[in-house]
Amino acid sequence: MNDLAVLVEKPKAETAIAELTAEGVYDDTRKVREHDGKTVELPVTEEPTGTDVLDVIEQVSPEPRLPDLEAHLRAQGWSEDELDLAPKSWAVIGSVILAQFEDCPRKEEVGEALLDLHGEADTILSRDGISGEHREPETTVVAGSGDTETIHTEHGTKYALDLRKVMFAPGNQQERARMGTIVEPGERVLDMFAGIGYFTLPMARAGAQVTAVERNPTAFQFLLENAVLNGVTENIDAYRVDCREIEMDQPVARVMMGYYDAHEYLDSALAALEPGGIVHMHETTPENRLWERPVGRLREAAETHGCRVEILDKRRVKSHSEGVWHVVVDARIE
């Protein structure tokens, strides 16, 4: 058989493509296309052995896939100046593609081209900013069905979310996965800014007992849903409250602070931590203040509690804006 394809359910397409690629059998020279209302055809070079699929078929009249967005737009007659304004990167989050369009012309054409490139997606969403007390995303549907509810899978962790209502940072993927590798089964953890379960879920899946705190009501509902979706309800105690108001019945071994202004909450974090416990503090820091500012904030807060700080690790997660980095400092507090 030539022009093989596998059938998978639409919500599982993103994960299946990653697994097929890892197997070395995914054929990115042909388009992903819809098979029926519930399934898609993912082109493969040979029958996979390690990816769960519904069926293997031979595609009828397979369609070649242009290699990238630029090729699509050139084929539609875009000028060099217009191409310079097109998005240079985007993220596939479940069945939604999230991109920043800013001054891009003919946004709908770009959206349709992205849908053509990523047949597993059905909605293109423009990320326009963040607003409000609960840091809610400002978005615009650019192309596709407009359905922004989806399930996104990373390293086996499933995140149900609505990208019109809650934030999701694709650039934090490695940090989310990392937290699932460093906790111990049974370890008590406080996640002060749990959101939909960004860090809570990988830690709970690794066996940690996580107290997850989130005050945004929409994010909190997805947190509860995701605990069920991942089968970790027994590992998560979830509270919808300001994290400064939570009272722990006993100290925790680790505090997760996945919020850019986490330093403002260090007093509460250190009060919840057992002697020798670890804090993971996120922050946005100008390049010229790495690593003096985040480390200084940790040391200053620890000093007020009569504690000393041992810096275990310092990491740049991603660029936040020009000259500013999203960073994490891991520290043991004695």
Mean local confidence (pLDDT), 161-179: 94
Positive or negative CA dihedral for 324, 182, 151, 5? positive
Confidence of residue 73 (pLDDT cuts 50, 70, 90): very high
Under the banding of pLDDT at 50, 70 and 90, the label for residue 134 is: low
Task: For residue range 24-57, list pLDDT tens digits in order.
Answer: 999 988 989 889 888 999 999 999 999 999 999 9
Q: Please list, residue by residue across 38-75, b when 16 or more beta carbons sit within 10 angstroms of its beta carbon and e when fewer do.
A: ebbbbbbbeebeebebeeeeebeebeebbeebeebbee
Tell me the per-residue pLDDT of 190-212, one tens digit each, with 9 for 90 and over: 999 999 999 999 999 999 999 99
Residues 275-288 have pLDDT tens digits of 999 999 999 999 99
For every residue of 103-139, DSSP letters joined together read: T-SSHHHHHHHHHHH-TT--EEEEEEEEETTTTEEEE
In the predicted structure, residue 167 carries a pLDDT above the cut 60: yes
CA gyration radius, the chain: 22
240-280 pLDDT per residue, tens: 999 999 989 999 999 999 999 999 999 999 999 999 999 99
| pLDDT category of residue 15 using cuts at 50, 70 and 90 | confident
Q: Which DSSP category does 86 fall into?
A: S
Q: Where are the alpha helices (DSSP H) in the chain?
A: 13-23, 69-75, 80-85, 107-117, 173-182, 200-205, 217-229, 266-272, 292-304
In the annotated binding site, the residues are: 169, 176, 214
- In the predicted model, what is the mean pLDDT of residues 145-168? 95
pTM, whole model, 2 decimals? 0.86
Cα 176 from Cα 198, distance rounded (Å): 6
The yes-or-no verdict on residue 294 having pLDDT over 60 is yes
On the question of pLDDT at 236 being above 90, the answer is: yes
The predicted pLDDT at position 45 comes to 94
- Is the pLDDT at 94 greater than 80, yes or no? yes
Residue 61 has pLDDT above 90, yes or no: no
Residue 132 has pLDDT above 80, yes or no: no
Binding site listing for S-adenosyl-L-methionine? 169, 176, 214
pLDDT of residue 1: 52
Encoded amino acid at 95, one letter? S
Would you mind telling me the total number of residues written for the chain in this entry? 334
